[in-house]
Chain A
């Protein structure tokens, strides 16, 4: 059964910041609740206060403009992101990643902010945000700041957020012109599953920009810049893709866990990297 707590629902960002400052260590924020409710039922979290952010109107906005790119409020659900035409067309890696998370009913509640704040090493959206070079807008009573996504994940279930800070929004700048992005996920089954490994990629300019990020292969989701390096130089596209995939495999050090062994993770990381690059670069 669920632990006991007080439920609070602020109506403005300011109110939220004040509540969080007041209760800090004893409070947990709730957006979709799909991670939080399970953690509370399993008694892993025992907060005194649960602060529901869904009452704050500003946090529910999903906005795009050609200059600044995408801005996804903390309470925006994955299904809202998936329904967005601009996300699908311009931020395909994020669109594809969002669609692989759990099942359609969970995606109607779960939020992007919630997913990254949960900071699971297996987060599906994180690799996409990494290759898209996103930025997390963060606020507290003391002020606001921006955390680049590559500095956001600090460890298993740990983020760079200070105890009184909350995520306002995630900003995703426009990708380079002509860029193509995508996300491939491998699980234990065809039906929904947590990622055994997930690979996000963004390529532009015939591979001069080539970003690869993975989930489930490290304590946090990670970018693998070695893939870009391996892609430089001579050779056919297929050969270069193979080198990039090998570079990824050479760099990462996954563990064995209840879901699968490290050898298989390593292998599938290489396979998925190769497959997604072939997909995006139209190779054979």
Chain B
């Protein structure tokens, strides 16, 4: 252990100073020379042909520099299915869809111009319920999704509203049910919700006359933006530069490509002036993307001794008007469909369906928050059906190292311990004892739920990092992983400082992500960043050290193997006087006679996902998971049966993180993730009218947690069973704290009242109703 030890410590965030002083820069804060402002014209109809768009009046307005309609932008976009254009073309598919865009000298002029654009629509029948949309004869959102260019692992059904049908078949489902003593079947429902990042989508685009495209955007994945832009517009990658400053919250909603192509096209039409588009809060709710709704049906076969013999699962996703990430979310939920358990016989169908709702994109958890509501409620209900304790039931079926997952993967011996997580949570909420009951119409209960998730990503995903040694012995780290609040760059600074053995104050992580010079990393999603980019950073540090040693070895006349890099120096092991400060080798080695050798130290490291395979299109069998992070969550609640109010006394979260590089950041993610997950659990939902218009598209009527709403006590429990191929043993945890709080709360309600809840959110009204009905199962 060297003098500088940072890994495992709660080091303050390296970006905190900028953020507490308000000097951190976000896309909407940026002003460029000659910049224009864009505003959108949005569709009031859920499904209609665009008969005519008349922009003549708008064009006359002084200060208007460019107007675009869908006909002028026939570029197909889509991360998995290329089913979308920058503006609606031919028809509109959801209320709020962008139909035309204006770029003008000021926002006000742009908005006025939008009001002058006249659109004629011819209504088409619309469909809002994904189960209705799957029926024969349902209105077709896209004529034939199979016609679109799509990824080879996505299977849109021809001439239907099915954007993807993921199938998983393991074992023999009929035999599995025959072996069961008891069969339990339930249905669970939740509507679409929204990520509600504090910073709305913001993008600035510039298409210069020489064909160079520059983009500044609040996005999670600069290289994904660059790639998708290139594919859509037919521009070579090296002519596109994507710059991402600080991101004011992503939560998956900024993972792919959104408004970047539009602003760039507007810029082109405006002669190359930069064009900025910032979503209003209302547009953030129903014009930009949302999270899929889920209808889940689960049928579980179980033996009286508690062993699950079979699971038949149907996940029907309300994916909205375009496929975006929705199809892959359906797939990821499909291959994780059981939750953290070994089930020998499984038949799962996870279907992402087009509807005339706003289109769905990634959301923290990538489908796992939605389906764990179903699976973890089901686990409790099945346990009760056979008279077994729900904790014991979970442990009996737990996906432990060596067990086989739903896709036929044998869990590695260091995969992580869901049983330890479950036991830790159970202990903390006082499992086995009924909580003391208050007087009057209030009751208390405790509930528990487990969770798992692996990053959903291509089997060949890679990350890279660059560590430059500066002439004064400080180091600069370049990465592409964006900082959207999760704090991973701080963890990387810790790794660089500890790896190079220099004080952390001398490490800079470049703030801006820029595809022209930042080293490639796939996307900032999936809780993969710490694991994959962390490995890349470690490799980059090792590479830098190797270069340092090579120069020093030559200067000292020793072999590399004799040298150590520590205490801001490089020297012969055991002989600190026979060496030199790191600054001496940063740009070149200098011989006593003044001649130079070797060159600037720039450590390069990469990490590519190992051991993953494609999944069989019929059975879903294969190895999709780089690492599983296991966990469990518990809730202690007090329910006012008179009003339906849930007072959350305690939320416990245990995650097997492998290694907490920065325990304070881990706790921050846990607390923040729990509160976001609780939003889904008790207050968030989209309320549509019968014409598909979102009624609560503002923060007055779409409720998210405020300071007074939070649980009275948070108990984060960090469990560390390291994973060998992970950086310092650390697994990703960014999404996991959101995943099973809803089920834990509902299980606590059951524990308190005997009332089962099957639909989200558990609003005061819904809980009151459920308690009134007293539905027991």
Contact = CB atoms under 8 A, between A and B. Distances in A.
A and B part of one assembly: yes
Interface in B659-708: 683, 687, 695-696, 700-701, 703, 705-708
A260 B645 CA distance: 14
A191 B709 contact: yes
Contact of B683 (A1, A188, A258, A261): A188
Interface of B (DSSP majority class): loop
A258 B696 contact: yes
B703 A189 contact: yes
Nearest to A186: B643
A264 B706 contact: no
Contacts of A191: 703, 705-709
B643 A1 contact: no
Q: Which one of A186, A189, A192, A271 has the greatest number of beta carbons of chain B within 10 Å?
A: A189
Given A188-B683, A258-B687, A258-B695, A194 B708 contact: no
B471 interface: no
A154 interface: no
Q: Give the interface centre of A186, A190, A259 by most chain B CB atoms within 10 Å.
A: A190
Interface string B101-114: 00000011001000
Contacts of B687: 258
A268 interface: yes
26 contacts: A1-B111, A188-B703, A188-B764, A188-B765, A189-B705, A189-B706, A189-B708, A190-B706, A190-B709, A191-B705, A191-B706, A191-B707, A191-B708, A192-B706, A192-B708, A194-B700, A258-B695, A259-B701, A260-B763, A260-B765, A261-B765, A264-B644, A264-B765, A264-B768, A271-B642, A271-B643
B769 interface: yes
A193 interface: yes
A189 B768 contact: no
Nearest to B682: A189
Tell me whether chain A's interface is mostly helix, strand or loop, or mixed. loop
A258 B701 contact: yes
Interface string A170-207: 00000000000000001011111110000000000000
B703 A264 contact: no
A267 interface: yes
B769 A264 contact: yes
Contacts of B707: 191
A190 B710 CA distance: 9
Contacts of B683: 188-189
Contacts of B696: 258
Contacts of A261: 765
Interface in A251-284: 258-261, 263-264, 267-268, 271
Interface in B692-740: 695-696, 700-701, 703, 705-709
A1 B768 contact: no
A1 B108 CA distance: 6
A1 B708 contact: no
A189 B764 CA distance: 8
Interface string B739-777: 000000000000000000000000111001100000000
Given A1-B108, A194-B700, A258-B696, A188 B763 contact: yes
Nearest to A191: B706
Nearest to B107: A1
A258 B686 CA distance: 10
A193 B703 contact: yes
A115 to B, nearest CB: 16
Given A189-B708, A263-B769, 10 more contacts: A189-B703, A190-B709, A191-B703, A191-B707, A191-B708, A191-B709, A192-B708, A260-B763, A264-B644, A271-B642
Contacts of A193: 703
A18 B608 CA distance: 76
Contacts of B769: 263-264
A112 B683 CA distance: 30
A101 to B, nearest CB: 13
Interface string A147-187: 00000000000000000000000000000000000000010
Contacts of A192: 706, 708
